[in-house]
Structure 1
Amino acid sequence: MTQVTARLYKQGDKVWRDFKAELITRYENAAILDISESEAFSKIEKQEFNNLIVVSKKAIAEKRAVAGVDDSDILKTSVNTGLKKISKKRKEARAKYARGIAEAASQCDTLIDVAKRIGKSTTFVKRVASEFEIKLPRHNNGHEEIASR
């Protein structure tokens, strides 16, 4: 399966450090390793352990291998993280304009006047107003706003 480096394995009074083994199975907090090809264990020790040992996940150096993350997930994870950062920046930008929209909405008669005063589109003003629950003028260029929009 996957070759990993185990930092530590203790059995009785014997200790093995920094050895390579094949990852067989992952569990929540442990993993089964195949030591048949490992040079750290003698032939007798391999027979005693039946070529398999169970080690803590903390004792394995390659965290990605025991976490169950495939290389195919790396791109998806980075893309999702990037999208979250972008949406967070956009939300912060909308929050920055919310105070100005609230002030302009109280002083202007139409939605277009509010948008002109802020320097943004009416769609942006509506989105920010709905997100931050800001009451906007009911008239748009002297005509009453249609509720279904």
Structure 2
Amino acid sequence: MTQVTVLVYKQGDKVWRDFKAELITRYEKAVMLYISESEAFSKIEKQECNNRIIVSKKEIVEKRAVAGVDDSDTLKTSVNTGLKKISKKRKEARAKYARGIAEAASQCDTLTDVAKRIGKSTTFVKRVADEFEIKLPRRNNGHEEIASR
């Protein structure tokens, strides 16, 4: 745990100044501190607070310690990079099908025929066509497709 210095902590009519405590958790605008090792608090005061207090980040001297990256943030970052890798692979896979879709679209009359020829769903064919600006047949399974789509 990181040790930080607190400038001022007020609770009721009591005030504590310039004491050290262990950093437990960071919140958006405050931090939770472990005060069992701190000499500024008496045993009774420590028991009343359950050895923990919440202090505003403004009252902490070591700004880097309270603004540091949390473990949960690191996890979110690694998950996001993993998702970006997956989406990049999917984009490459769609690019592989784009040429075949363009060729099939020029030869087929309906969207369903294009999908059957490629071996993929009509939704996939539409998504790839939108992404690579491929013009698809306007007829879908023998019925005129709605112009708004």
- Residue ranges of structure 1 left out of the alignment (5+ in a row): 4-64
TM-score of the pair, normalised by structure 2:
0.54
1:116 offset after TM fit, Å?
Answer: 0.1
Counterpart for residue 137 of structure 2: 137
Count of residue pairs brought into register by the alignment = 87
Q: What percent of counterpart residues are identical? A: 95
State the alpha-carbon separation in 1 of the partners of residues 111 and 143 from structure 2. Answer: 10
Write out the 4+ residue segments of structure 1 that deviate beyond 6 Å after TM superposition. Answer: none
Question: Which secondary structure does the structure 2 equivalent of 1:93 belong to?
Answer: helix
State the alpha-carbon separation in 2 of the partners of residues 114 and 76 from structure 1. Answer: 40
After TM superposition, list the pairs within 5 Å mapping 1:68-87 onto structure 2. Answer: 68-87=68-87
Question: Which secondary structure does the structure 2 equivalent of 1:106 belong to?
Answer: helix
1:104 offset after TM fit, Å?
Answer: 0.3
State the alpha-carbon separation in 1 of the partners of residues 69 and 109 from structure 2. Answer: 56
- 1:124 paired with 2:124, answer yes
- Residue ranges of structure 2 left out of the alignment (5+ in a row): 4-64
After TM superposition, list the pairs within 5 Å mapping 1:50-65 onto structure 2. Answer: none
1:90 offset after TM fit, Å?
Answer: 0.8
State the alpha-carbon separation in 1 of the partners of residues 119 and 133 from structure 2. Answer: 20
TM-score of the pair, normalised by structure 1:
0.54
State the alpha-carbon separation in 2 of the partners of residues 102 and 108 from structure 1. Answer: 10
- 1:103 paired with 2:95, answer no
Question: Which secondary structure does the structure 2 equivalent of 1:124 belong to?
Answer: helix
State the alpha-carbon separation in 2 of the partners of residues 140 and 111 from structure 1. Answer: 5
